[in-house]
């Protein structure tokens, strides 16, 4: 595996102080971050979120997706629990990269959905690789998780690398008029477990 641990530091946030752990992937020079709160080691399942980088949603407050809202909700829930982990993976645009994501957005502006746009650019619907989490999990000595996700593929990926998911926790937030088609595509074409009702309280 090409992932190596680099260093850890404190990260004060509006939701509380997390520990930030840096990892480097020498295969592609990507840098990944894991945020933890409390002691995540041991048999007690850890509240967890696997979050793929979304510059537009996380940092630029885009309403085209629900990513920024999901990240903030995860940080809030972990702070309430006092113990948890967020894996922040540099896999922008479901793995196609930022500039290709902008190209995909342009196709979506012309009527394509997210899957159609990715495929029109020659990519798969979802190019993300979750196997890179294995050395991060081993470094942090996490044994079991309660995973905040609507994506069954993430649950399967964790089981495939040997990390038991003892519970899948619905994590639906950030619905708005600009991302209605995006969410419908997630549900209809990518198999995400989403309610058509209003979002949960976060």
Give the annotated binding-site residues for GTP: 49-53, 70, 92-94, 114, 149, 154
Cα angle, residue 120 at apex, residues 117 and 126 outer, rounded to 5°: 60
Residue in 126, 129, 146, 160 annotated catalytic: 126
Q: Which region holds residue 21: left if phi is over 0, alpha if psi is between -120 and 50, else beta?
A: beta
168 backbone dihedrals φ, ψ, rounded to 5°: -100, 125
Residue 63 near residue 179, CB atoms below 8 Å:
yes
Residue 161 near residue 131, CB atoms below 8 Å:
yes
Question: Is position 128 annotated as part of the catalytic site?
Answer: yes
Residue in 128, 129, 146, 175 annotated catalytic: 128
- Binding site residues for Zn(2+), as ranges? 54, 65, 67
Please list the active-site residues.
126, 128
């Amino acid at each position: 595996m090409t992932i190596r641990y680099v260093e850890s530091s404190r990260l004060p946030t509006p939701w509380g102080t997390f520990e930030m752990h840096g990892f480097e992937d020498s295969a592609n020079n990507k840098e990944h971050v894991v945020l933890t709160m409390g002691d995540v080691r041991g048999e007690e399942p850890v509240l967890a979120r696997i979050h793929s980088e979304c510059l537009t949603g996380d940092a630029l407050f885009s309403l085209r997706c629900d990513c920024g809202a999901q990240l903030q909700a995860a940080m809030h829930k972990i702070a309430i629990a006092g113990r948890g982990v967020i894996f922040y993976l540099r896999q922008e645009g479901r793995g196609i990269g930022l500039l290709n994501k902008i190209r995909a957005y342009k196709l979506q502006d012309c009527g394509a959905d997210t899957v159609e746009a990715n495929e029109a650019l020659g990519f798969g619907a979802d190019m993300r690789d979750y196997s890179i989490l294995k050395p991060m999990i081993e470094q942090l000595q996490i044994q079991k998780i309660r995973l905040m996700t609507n994506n069954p593929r993430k649950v399967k990926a964790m089981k495939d690398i040997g990390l038991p998911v003892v519970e899948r926790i619905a994590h639906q937030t950030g619905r708005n008029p600009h991302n209605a088609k995006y969410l419908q595509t997630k549900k209809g074409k990518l198999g995400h477990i989403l309610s058509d009702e209003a979002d949960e309280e976060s």
